[in-house]
Amino acid sequence: MRFSDMSLDRRTTSALEEMGYVDATEVQEKTVPLILQGESVVVRSQTGTGKTAAFGVGLIEIITKDRSRKGLVLAPTRELAVQIANELRSIAKNHRMGIYAIYGGAGMGSQIAHLRRGFDIVVATPGRLLDHVHQGTIHLSSVNCVVLDEADRMLDMGFKPDIDRILRAVNPQRQMMMFSATLEPEIRRLIENYMTCPETIEIGPKGKVASIGEEFISLSRAEKLDRLKHILVSEPVSRSIVFVASKRGVEAICRQLNQHGIEAKYLHGGKSQTQRERTVREFQEGRFRILIATDVAARGLHVEDVSHVINYDQADSHEMHTHRIGRTGRMGKAGRAITFVETDPLPKMPRGRRGQYHGYGDRNGHGGSYGSQGGSSYGNYGNQGHRSSGPRHPRGNQNRPRNHRARRW
């Protein structure tokens, strides 16, 4: 079905055409008409199926026809909140609508200023939304259209109490839309508590999408960096996301790729919000083609034409693995997922011990060990030995004897 066949406002279809949205995806074709009829919906679908446009078109059309309606979209991360708000603004570009994103990690002042002007749609992370509720800068009783995007992820992140408080405060005569990759028991309890006879739509299989070709490569830790370089150089990669377990590892691998003439940038939770937004925007615009990231990029990062997802480090769970590889093969396009499986996995450290912990060295001598027995596992990164020759005291230097001299390092 084409969007032009959905009886949408011409201003909306014109904006969609400019965005390249002509034919609706399955989730859009099944969801948008129900939203326009005022139905509450629960949608289980794969990532990359066009969910944002599905509820975005529905919200904008509803509010266009009735300006007393106010929309709220809850998202688990600030990156996702920003991306949703940007896409909604693009869809609503021919309408005069106030669409704002509010999230933690940014100043309250500018967000308060936007809200005071009045809003049509607010896209928010739960914690920051409640901060505004407590300050009286937003009144949830005026909200009568609610979207929970990535609902399963929000529950995984511990937002259930916040979601309960928010949903109890919004207008009881509300229309709700819930989008989730799974319909686990906790999600179903949320549906039972806050939704009345919603229409349920399930799209596609529960696992990875069929358009993703997946490969597992067994190799030692020492071989991983060389194999990564070989893939990035020898295969036709339009855009690639490389997932690494730690922030320190992300930075070190990015640095080593750059040193070998392979341009890459990195993304993890330790970067400032401004830096993260700039990196995502540049990746979306194609200014660089290789992104090294932690799981902060596994959900909510909407980038078209990601040809490869490479799991340099394996995910902690099958669910997170599914979300990682869901960054490719989006909107029905083919994608490739490659997972490195170590033949010499890292041993688990005893709790509280700081002894040797061997990391990701490579055959060229890049590597070492974590902790006080050596440097970082990612090349020359971190301490090169014990910080001092004397005993460690819980309060640092203040409890050491006066004649103790620390060794220079």
Name which of 300, 302, 308 is nearest 264 in CA terms. 308
The Cα–Cα gap between 290 and 239 comes to 6
| Structural fold of domain 3-202 | Rossmann fold (3.40.50)
Q: Does domain 212-342 have CATH number 3.40.50.300?
A: yes
Average of pLDDT values for 138-143? 94
CA R_g for the chain: 24
How much is the pLDDT for 374? 33
The answer to which of 18-22, 80-84, 315-319, 364-368 has the lowest mean pLDDT is: 364-368
Sequence letter at residue 356: Q
Question: What's the whole-number average pLDDT of the chain?
Answer: 81
Question: How many CB atoms lie under 10 A from the CB of residue 30?
Answer: 19
Nearest to 323 by CA among 153, 155, 201: 153
Comparison of pLDDT for 280 and 123, the residue scoring more: 123
Q: Indicate if 212-342 has the same CATH topology as 3-202.
A: yes
Which of the four pLDDT bands, split at 50, 70 and 90, describes residue 264? very high
Write the DSSP string, 93-126: TTS---EEEE-TTS-HHHHHHHHHT--SEEEE-H
| Sign of the torsion angle spanned by Cα atoms 218, 298, 289, 363 | negative
pTM of the model: 0.60
CA distances from 153 to 112, 265, 400 (A): 27, 26, 47
The pair phi, psi for residue 76, each rounded to 5°, is -75, -30
Whether the pLDDT of residue 365 is over 70: the answer is: no
pLDDT tens by residue, 203-246: 865 554 556 778 899 999 899 999 999 999 888 778 899 999 99
Spell out the domain ranges in the chain: 3-202, 212-342
Name the band, by pLDDT with cuts 50, 70 and 90, for residue 63. Answer: very high
Phi, psi dihedral angles at 209 (to 5 degrees): -70, 155
